[in-house]
Chain A
């Protein structure tokens, strides 16, 4: 952690709101100096970053015991070596293998996401942290209190919350703030693109990559949603769009599935052959939050930084490679009543597709190995509590 902060964090004094000063000493507050290509890091005034909170949040993030049956950590779906997503699954699975409808999004640069989850149903990392912890098909803890009591009885956390939060122990707010603090540090930029585009380092990109950027911001129209500013680029508009992927998944006809049995060995399997198993779960996207039919099957625009590391793609992980993604958008998406009008057939040539692919590969930040190493250096422990926290809890007042 010390190495991470030495690269990214600048120790400085902050002027904190009076209420926060009670449990976050100003002298410990940290600011992240954004790497080239990213804007200033949004940090809620009531949740300042401190070294202790970041370290604590990383430990919580990596701890499998934070699931009800001690098998799933945040990092099991957001695998550090796999771009903080999961390469192995189109859509995730949770406790006891329960199905989850959507792909695990990368959490690189998640601090810049305004509305979290694919459908934007949560508005702060502090609150978002509790969603997976309590969702019955994810980490499936029975209650908020259960999580807090469990953390209290795990010896690896003894005194750490109190140190990070000025004497305050684990509670709903401090658990959320610790996890949010760590995730906010997962910034990644200063990519070759950044050094070329913002740093004016001409040799940082190849001619093909430069041509790809011209297409990205020109003929292909990608930057209409994946925004690139004059001084920085999030590669997202933080808005929600219907590309047709979700519509087709929910409303499309039954289809055959090309199934790999072994490397190079495939068979076609029809939907009906799988009728004896679980049927796909309904998913109407952003509509489930706003209840506005216009938002049906719309999903958040992902930040494209580190996109070469975060396969598979789209909200349901249905596109395996960036080649597939480029082909999909070149075709103009899948028609449906709410399809975003920005999507249209692009008519890209093979050479242009290759250039786009090359450009996307230039968006990988320069600190990926470091972020992975720091995550793996954290050893939260594997031994579950000797007794279930619900069995031992006694009210102390």
Chain B
């Protein structure tokens, strides 16, 4: 496939070489919930959950913040907010991503386009803002840094929009661990591509990464009710996903996955070679899998809820063995557990209403603890009494979710609770899933 635009080829070559060194003996890292396979994992009890929280005018200081919650049941402050770091202003903070050594947390803001880098290694219980990257728009022309997936020495970032018209055409971006811009590429608009972007999931074993597509600033910043009533706005959603060559950063294949495919997760189960996503608007589960000839194919394998009611599937969380997957549907505030034993024929086996609205879901490595937060986007969240903002932890025994604790983010004067990442107080306990031959080198890299 021919690229629309190639930039900084030399730097990409350097990245390729760096990746090649790692891929030579790539370990089969697991999904903790949605971590990069290059990021070491917490296989036991997580100690802390960071909640990337949107400031709300009139709530507390009204500012975006990183909230740290103690989640170790052996701790005296279990289930309590133990730290909060206000950033000043409201920039539509959205997702965070862990660095390749899990010592830094990168958090993006979809409106201000700032990227905040926190030191979570020196004192994980008290994150410290070490860098604010403000040149994202200037360097790339893109708007809305969304997903942050670590690569060796790098951070792969997928934005949502562009500075030209605030529509959905965007790209993929690489920064290094020092917070310096490296390169960017446009999302393909040929061979069926629509140029839109959203999440990214990488699979070093197959030398690929998969991107999905959502919508531009015009829509993600708009009130959800207003948008649904605006026929022009509803025409502006991504309908594609793209498989890329990870080394060359070139698109390999564009898939037609209509209705805004969102979160991307790979199965890390040994022998598997499939990824999964769900479409927000059309309420479908799509599985991407290599055929007998080795070509990637995408297949619509199931329907979530009643698409006519637009349940709005949002975040997903796949289990470490890829036998199950949580899917949240925002509009009805429901968590749905799907049996993924046969990924080509998944089945919904459990549902539970979590709140008036629910967005993010993150599960512990062993799948026994499932965390939920409420906020989707500042202007997509429900209003008035339905605007519940929370972090809730449930214990999952394979049959039922039982509430362990909940924190009311409005009562605590915090704001809207969005993306979560786990952390251990003792980073020496971090480990990969299967083999550890590359992990020491990754952990030793402090940028």
Contacts and interface: CB of A to CB of B under 8 A. Distances in A.
A65 B163 CA distance: 12
A54 B143 CA distance: 28
Nearest to B144: A71
A90 B308 CA distance: 23
A251 interface: no
A70 B112 contact: yes
B221 A265 contact: no
Nearest to B218: A88
Contact of B384 (A265, A267, A276, A317): A276
A173 interface: no
**Most B C-beta atoms less than 10 A away, residue of A76, A88, A265, A280:** A88
Interface string B339-366: 0000000000000000010000000000
Nearest to B230: A90
A277 interface: yes
A89 B166 CA distance: 11
Contact of A257 (B91, B163, B217, B229): B229
Contact of A320 (B135, B232, B259, B308): B232
Contacts of A279: 225
A88 B310 contact: no
B233 A267 contact: no
A19 interface: no
Interface string B211-226: 0000011111111111
A64 interface: yes
A69 B55 CA distance: 14
Interface in A214-264: 257-263
Interface in A262-308: 262-263, 265, 267, 269, 273-274, 276-280
Nearest to B237: A262
Nearest to B229: A257
Contacts of B233: 88-90
Contact of B307 (A96, A260, A267, A312): A267
B218 A269 contact: no
Contact of A261 (B218, B219, B224, B281): B281
**Most B C-beta atoms less than 10 A away, residue of A79, A82, A267, A381:** A267
Contact of B281 (A88, A93, A262, A273): A262
B295 interface: no
A71 B382 contact: no
Contacts of B224: 274, 277
A362 interface: no
Interface string B109-148: 0011100000000000000000000110110000100000
B63 to A, nearest CB: 13
Interface string A59-96: 00000100001110000100101100011111101001
A274 B225 contact: yes
Contacts of A381: 138
A97 B310 contact: no
Contacts of A90: 230-233
Contact of A96 (B90, B134, B219): B90
A69 B112 contact: yes
Contacts of A81: 164-165
Contact of A259 (B112, B143, B166, B234): B234
B379 interface: yes
B375 interface: no
B113 A276 contact: no
Given A260-B235, A262-B259, A69 B89 contact: yes
B310 A277 contact: no
Interface string A128-168: 00000000000000000000000000000000000000000
Interface string B243-274: 00000000000000011100000000000000
Given A69-B91, A262-B258, A276 B221 contact: no
A387 interface: no
A94 to B, nearest CB: 9
Contact of A260 (B92, B112, B231, B356): B231
Contacts of A311: 232
A259 B308 CA distance: 10
Contact of B231 (A69, A320, A382): A320
B234 A260 contact: yes
B33 interface: no
Given A89-B232, A97-B222, A269-B310, A71 B259 contact: no
A309 B117 CA distance: 43
Contact of B223 (A87, A99, A257, A269): A99
Nearest to A81: B165
Contacts of B217: 71
Given A93-B222, A262-B282, A317 B232 contact: yes
A361 interface: no
A88 B165 contact: yes
A383 interface: yes
Given A81-B165, A274-B228, A261 B384 contact: no
A97 B138 contact: no
Interface in A185-214: none
B237 to A, nearest CB: 7
5 contacts: A81-B165, A89-B232, A96-B111, A262-B259, A277-B223
> Top 10 nearest A-B pairs by Cβ distance?
A277-B225, A97-B221, A262-B258, A276-B382, A262-B259, A382-B138, A274-B225, A261-B281, A278-B223, A90-B230
Interface of B: 89-92, 111-113, 134-135, 137-138, 143, 163-167, 216-226, 228-237, 239, 258-260, 279, 281-282, 307-310, 356, 378-379, 382-384, 386
